[in-house]
Amino acid sequence: MVLRQKRILVTGGAGFLGTHLCQKLLEDGHEILCVDNFFTGSRRNIEHLLDNKRFELLRHDVTFPLFIEVDEIYNLACPASPVHYQFDPVQTTKTSVLGAINMLGLAKRLKIPILQTSTSEVYGDPTVHPQPESYWGHVNPNGIRSCYDEGKRCAETLFFDYHRQHKLKIKVARIFNTYGPFMRLDDGRVVSNFIRQALLGEDITIFGDGSQTRSFCYVTDLIDGLVRLMNTPAEVTGPINIGNPGEFSILELAETVLALTGSRSSIIRLPLPADDPKQRCPDIASAQKFLGWQPNIALEEGLKRTIPFFENLLRGGPQSTAELRIASPLAV
């Protein structure tokens, strides 16, 4: 039983992370207002929540002000994969910057805590490895990825200026690569790309020689970290890295996906995209210290939980998974 039921706003609530966060907060006994403009999010993602009396859906673009009454805000609104944030880069920057301004203004008016989902992309192509929160980054300010990287960096600036100037209660999480059910087939992320290609028997496309590394955090671990961060004392503002410090090369990921799917797909190599970071791995000492958090689900186990979701999608079946228990306990 939740100690105090809150009414919580989740922007980007019909996206990959937002769907899991809405579900987690409902399971914790809260009322949820899910806001999404459905640019990358999908109504289908949250259909299983619509009959819940404590869940409300509002179609809205956070680049416009929102006048509501809530107790907490999780700001997740922004396309997060290169395919989507590069489709309309001006709108991506506006979503990060104007969206932050509008949500911070709402939090200021209501005098409530607000959590910003920032990103490991603020570190750019890092010269420090693994990346601690104290590292300022190595970012191209005018490249094809800059709309996302710099938009998120500016949003962090706004959050900390609102905190210093207006005493606003803020939390900033820097999210590293995350994967799991409710990812889109066409989002262009490496995990979803490899699983889709393997299941369809297509060539697995690796950019460069595959030696570039990433860390992969299973989505339920990530969501647990976000909720823990929101519930820390006011003096814990972040930024705090949330991700899995286990580091894998892209080639290792491809080979693991092939083994788990039993696919006979071949691995082919394409030119490396501009500004693609060579290494990305979080230093999670702050998360361990302030949140008592660390990831529990290893990459192979997480992939075993994710692959059936994509198999269902490719068969045209429902998006639900047994692990999410989406059918029953929330429809009350």
Which residues are the active-site residues?
A: 148
CA distance 16 to 81: 11
DSSP code string of 9-31: EEETTTSHHHHHHHHHHHHTT-E
CA distance 32 to 142: 37
CA distance 237 to 246: 25
Asked if 94 and 63 touch (Cβ cutoff 8 Å), the reply is: yes
Ranges assigned E (strand) in the chain? 7-11, 31-36, 55-59, 72-75, 114-119, 170-175, 178-179, 204-207, 213-215, 217-218, 240-242, 247-249, 267-270
DSSP element (H, E) containing 226: helix 219-230
The amino acid occupying position 61 is: D
> Which residue from 238, 279, 274 is spatially nearest to 130, judged by alpha carbons?
279
Whether the upstream peptide bond of residue 130 has omega within 30° of 0, thus cis, is: yes
The amino acid occupying position 229 is: L
Asked if 19 and 181 touch (Cβ cutoff 8 Å), the reply is: no
Q: Cα–chain-centroid distance for residue 261?
A: 25
Rg, the chain, Cα only = 19
The 72-75 sheet, strands edge to edge: 55-59, 31-36, 7-11, 72-75, 114-119, 170-175, 240-242
**Burial tier of 179 (Cβ tally within 10 Å: 0-12, 13-18, 19+):** buried
CA distance 57 to 46: 9
